[in-house]
Amino acid sequence: MLMVYLLKYDIPELTDISDDMFGRLVGMVDSHRATETKRVKNNKARAAALGAGLLLQYAMSEWLSGVRDNSYVEINAESPLSLLGPINDFEFTIGDQGKPYFKDKDLPYFNISHAGSYVAIAISDKEVGIDIQDKRKQKEKDLAKRFYSKREHASVKADSTGDMFYRLWTRKEALGKCTGDGVRPYLDTDVLELNKGELAKYEWNEKRVYDCFLCVCKRK
């Protein structure tokens, strides 16, 4: 079972709000994320943290109500208030590399990623990692030569669109987030063929989302 949710958080309802509305919205996320959000001063970063908290509440309310049908859902909320049902104050534990888990073992696995103006969340019955990357102005071929395998570097060089760099990067990030080890151990892991070797132990879901690349890695 896997549910993936996407929310555009760079909207006036989150980036340009009064102190009163901010206080109301902070009261609608779990207390851990509320504390973290209050520490953030930059409007866009604060909107990202708040959007993630609201989206997690929405995703978990669906999961707990029995919506577990292996789907991808884009949330286009005119107001973040429309996302919410009952508020759950989840408690978390944090892995060695910073991966969060629900402390309640009866709850599912989850993972969160931000990029550009979007936050994405994956909820699953098995270990899961999600990564979303926006296409930026950078030297993809040079980075691929430095970090990727020779085959991966060759595939990036041969791709005139520049997309391959991001497809491979999201795979590595999603894998590292699924295992909880982080991306560093997988930088030189060849992820061109996902149905072979160790990579075949995972289920992979990829999607182009507007100007972003999304990848979900779930343990089978």
Q: Looking at the structure, tell me whether residues 62 and 120 fall in a common domain.
A: yes
**Is the domain of 115 the same as that of 206?**
no
Domain ends where: 92, 125, 158?
Answer: 125
Tell whether 106 and 162 lie within a shared domain.
no
Which pLDDT score is estimated for 47?
85
- Say yes or no: 111 and 186 in one domain: no
pLDDT at 80: 55
- On whether both 9 and 99 belong to a single domain, the answer is yes
Model confidence over 37-78: pLDDT tens digits? 888 888 888 888 888 998 999 899 889 988 888 889 887 665
Q: What confidence tier does 146 reach under pLDDT thresholds 50, 70, 90?
A: confident
Picking from 74, 101, 125, the residue at the C-terminal end of a domain is: 125
Q: For the chain, what is the mean pLDDT?
A: 88
CATH number at residue 93: 3.90.470.20
If one counts the domains in the chain, the total is: 2
Residue 114 and residue 61 share a domain: yes
Whole-angstrom CA distances from 60 to 9, 86, 90, 150, 153 are: 18, 10, 10, 41, 39
Q: Classify residue 209 as exposed, middle or buried by CB count within 10 Å of its CB (0-12, 13-18, 19+).
A: middle
Task: Specify the pTM.
Answer: 0.91
CB–CB of 147/100 below 8 Å?
no
Q: Are residues 59 and 81 in the same domain?
A: yes
Residues 37 and 111 in one domain: yes
* Domain shared by 112 and 155, yes or no: no
Q: 160-207, pLDDT tens digit by residue?
A: 888 999 999 999 999 999 999 999 889 889 999 999 999 999 999 999
Check whether residue 118 and residue 142 sit in a common domain. no
Q: What is the token pair recorded at 138?
A: 């950078």
Q: Are residues 49 and 151 in the same domain?
A: no
Same domain, 106 and 179: no
- How confident is the model at residue 84, as a pLDDT? 66
Last residue of a domain, one of 76, 95, 125: 125
Q: For residue 153, give Cα distances in angstroms to 2, 126, 148, 206.
A: 31, 31, 6, 20
Range of the domain at 94: 2-125
